[in-house]
Amino acid sequence: HETAWLNGEFLPLQEARISPLDRGFLFGDGIYEVVPIYDGQPFELEAHLDRLEYSLGEIRLRNPLSRAQWRSMIAELVERNGGGDQTVYFQITRGADSQRDHGFPDPDLAPTCFAMSSPLAPAPARFASDGARAHLVEDIRWRRCDIKATGLLANAMAKQAARDAGADEALLHRDGQLIEGSSMTLFLVENGALLTPPKGPSILPGITRDVVINLARDLGVAVEEAPLAMTRLQSCDELWFTSSSREIMPVTQVDGITIGDGRPGPVWQRFQQTLSERTRVQSST
């Protein structure tokens, strides 16, 4: 995983260099994506490229690559890094201007484009056997969480607060409602149905979220997209976090609260099983 890609060139990650005047460095003025790779093949790549397009559009940054160029760059990066299971990270920033100025630079300034890959680490075995632990953290992020922006300070602080509390992920809450994790979408299971907060400016529209909702349709499981009051923690049977690199993660403890019977639940079992069949099938066709 030592090969990276910077502004059109493949190079050793250790040799990649970016200017300190880059607006990604100075302002967090950039957009990113993370795509999982199974058996050398990207999973849901088109959905990730759609979301990239959306994020870029919302911050008025033009996409420097065509769809075909993104696809072929990612395929080559994955191959150069040995195929198998990986996660590919890529980001675009508004580029390195000649001075530090908040306002957008000349639209002709070349954006900085970077990609790298890392091994797709399997989830710790205790998540499947005992469930993961979450820690409630107030959501102090900005009001455009639907944009996948590189400025992740509030997410990083939430994740660290969770670690400091001995938990695996932060469960963000705001105005009495459960929102999402620091880098994962939230699902609850109640009376056999899935519940998840609706898309909108307060959450990232997760690709795995869409995959799980489609799975529910196929499995005949009802899905309700609605705001989730914090009191739902006491009444729900299961709580999951989902993301492209972690798939479906069952959570059985939220601070002092035990979720359901304190074990990863049967609905999680069924969905995670079906999802892992699909990641392999889709990626090998």
Annotated catalytic residues are 148
232: which 2 tokens?
């739902």
- Per CB under 6 A, 243 contacts ligand PMP: yes
Q: Show the site string, 171-190: x = touches ligand PMP by CB under 6 A, - = not.
A: ---------x--xxx-----
* Least separation in angstroms between CB 202 and ligand PMP: 10
Minimum distance from CB of 183 to ligand PMP (Å)? Answer: 4
Single out the segment in contact with ligand PMP by CB under 6 A; choices: 4-12, 72-80, 160-168, 207-215: 207-215
CB count in 10 Å sphere of residue 134:
29
How is 112-127 classified by DSSP, letter by letter? EEEEEEEE-PPPPHHH
Of 111 and 206, CB closest to ligand PMP: 206
For residue 279, state whether it binds ligand PMP (rule: CB under 6 A): no
**Structural contact between residues 87 and 244, judged by C-beta atoms closer than 8 angstroms:** yes
Evaluate whether 260 touches 238 at the Cβ level (below 8 Å).
Answer: yes
Pairing of strands 193-196, 223-225: parallel
For ligand PMP, which is the closer residue by CB, 77 or 203? 203
Write down the H helix ranges in 125-243.
125-129, 153-164, 207-219, 232-235
Position among 206, 250, 260, 265 found at the interface with ligand PMP (CB under 6 A):
206
Nearest distance in Å: CB 247, ligand PMP: 9
CA neighbor of 51 nearest in space, from 37, 36, 38, 35: 35
Task: Give the interface with ligand PMP as residue ranges (CB under 6 A).
Answer: 34, 180, 183-185, 204, 206-209, 242-244
